[in-house]
Amino acid sequence: MTGASQRSAEIAIVAPGPFATVQDLGRPGLAHLGITRSGAADRHSLLLANRLVGNLTGAAAIEVTYGGLIVRFTHPGMIAVTGAPCPLELSGREIGMYAPVDVQAGALLRVGAPARGVRTYLGIRGGVDVPAVLGSRSRDTLAGIGPEPLVAGTRLPLGGEMSDPPTVDLAPHARYVDEPELRVLAGPRTDWFTADALRTLWAKAYEVTTDSDRVGVRLRGPAMRRRTTAELPSEAVVAGGIQIPPSGQPVIFLADHPVTGGYPVLGVVATEDLPLAAQCRPGQLLRFRPARRLVNGLPTR
Amino acid sequence: MRILPCGDEALLVEVANLQEVEDLYVRLRRDTPPGVTDLVPAARTVLVAFDPTTTGPARLRAQLHEVSPGPAGRGSRPTGAPAPGTPGRDTPASPPAAVTGGDGSRAAADAIVTAAEDAPSTVIIPVRYDGPDLVDLARLTGLTPAQIIRRHMRGPHRVAFCGFAPGFAYIAGLDAGLRVPRRDSPRTRVPAGAVAIADEFTGVYPRASPGGWHLIGRTDLTVFDLTRDPPALLAPGTPVRFVAVGAASVRT
């Protein structure tokens, strides 16, 4: 074992589950070059995982989609699992979510399937230290930039992106509800739609479809109708933007959204509610409601 | 100029045309209001993203109206972004080493990139004009392939904005006679380096991808490289010149 201890700490992916990537807070400030921000789809959960293990906010973690991740630790360390709640087993012993947990060298972590939500975050003290691409360790699934999605056998080195050891034992976490409400700010292209478009958006629940991914949550429900048949010149879009393609069925853009889009955006989901959108699973219903006003730039109910 | 709401962390500024977008973008890059985190130009808009803990939409709207492009400001084009195609702005490296391929091209490209962000130097794109859509385009435009090629090389061209894919630049300044809508059925795979046109733009596909533009040629120039800083050779505002190379170049 002396050989192993001389090597720097790393973890080995035994099984990635349906889909798992390395994510941090993404690469902001490059959109004018056609490069989207990317980063964790549910930023709240990434930040929480890092806080629980005493990492710097920009440390990279593993974003696990629908559970199924199995990881072996070569060195002692500390982890915290946040986001979509999954059964967790550490070397055969059940452990809890939203709490820092000490890990022994050789330990095996099994992340089961989540009962609710889509994305679970494995934060590890020190952060995942794969080479950064354009300042970020995030995988942009649309552009194919950043570390490859994890496969069985992937070894991930751990870094030193940490501060003081954590002092928190457990973070309270709101339960994921069956029919979440997302607050929406109207615009920028509300005037491209018929006058009743926003009323339609608020009126009924929308169902999340199976072709949802890190690029966007695709929905099925009452269609929004355009007032004009003109073609929208390409314009920049933002995460949370609710784009209405010709079908009238909305798409909520998530972290890996294209930098520009050619269909009008009816409204934008409040930044604070985007993590909720990222945790909606196919078949689930969600609702939109207007964000009333802005206080310090943030929408309130 | 219209300032449209775009969520709680951005405003979308809409102006009349591409030229006003470029003017506004240059001004905002030079005099960026405090708290602005990202500026993204497009065909008729500039997205202004901000940090809501530092600034707010009301303050930002007021600041944006101050930099609003208008007839009064037209004469004072910032010196940091000279009119595209101004004589003497071409890099000394032209005709570029890129024409010959090999290591020399990378060195030349790096030299161009270093200067691109602040005082953009012209990027020269060597093109083999042998694209599969030249014949279709001849039918659509009423021009011969040789005329299309000559008009495509006619400038001045400059990058209006990027989008679609990392490093994909919408290059403005396309000859009016070459403006045709994109293809009815997009190709599922356009090769990297394909030089194409659609509407009022021309562009170079940074890597293989689906695409609906008309393909008129190919270049060996690497327009997007993750190991380069900045990775995109063609940033908004960059002047561009297309030059014909190779056996299938212009027949005059």
B161 neighbourhood in chain A, CB within 8 Å: 32, 234, 260
CB contact at 8 A, B126 and B99 = yes
ipTM score = 0.93
Specify the pLDDT at position A202: 97
- Mark out chain A residues that contact chain B at CB-CB < 8 A: 28-29, 31-35, 133-134, 143, 145, 185-189, 233-236, 238, 240-241, 258-260, 265, 268-272, 291, 294, 296-299
Residue from B8, B15, B37, B53 whose CB has the most chain A CBs within 10 Å, to mutate: B8
Specify the pLDDT at position B91: 35
Q: What pTM value is reported for the model?
A: 0.87
End-to-end Cα separation, chain B, in angstroms: 45
Question: pLDDT band for position A249 (50/70/90)?
Answer: very high
Name which of B95, B89, B12, B19 is nearest B47 in CA terms. B12
Number of C-beta neighbours around residue A154 at 10 A: 18
User: For all residues of chain B together, what is the average pLDDT?
Assistant: 83
**Is the model more confident about A208 or about B97?**
A208
Q: Do A298 and B52 touch (CB under 8 A)?
A: yes
Distance between B123 CA and the closest CA of chain A, angstroms: 15
CB contact at 8 A, B41 and B21 = yes
CB contact at 8 A, B133 and B141 = no
Q: Per DSSP, what are the bridge partners of residue B186?
A: none
Specify the pLDDT at position B68: 66
Phi and psi angles of residue A285, each rounded to the nearest 5 degrees, phi first: -100, 145
Residue range A108-124, pLDDT digits in tens = 999 999 999 999 999 99
Q: Do B45 and A236 touch (CB under 8 A)?
A: yes
CB contact at 8 A, B25 and B39 = yes
The residue type found at B88 is G
Q: Do B52 and A33 touch (CB under 8 A)?
A: no
Residue range A81-109, pLDDT digits in tens = 999 999 999 999 999 999 999 999 999 99
CA distance B4 to A267: 11
Name which of A212, A190, A267, A274 is nearest A239 in CA terms. A274
Number of C-beta neighbours around residue A178 at 10 A: 9
Q: Per DSSP, what are the bridge partners of residue A65?
A: A19, A119
**Is the model more confident about B85 or about B36?**
B36
Average the pLDDT over A207-229 and give the result.
96
pLDDT at B191 over 60: yes
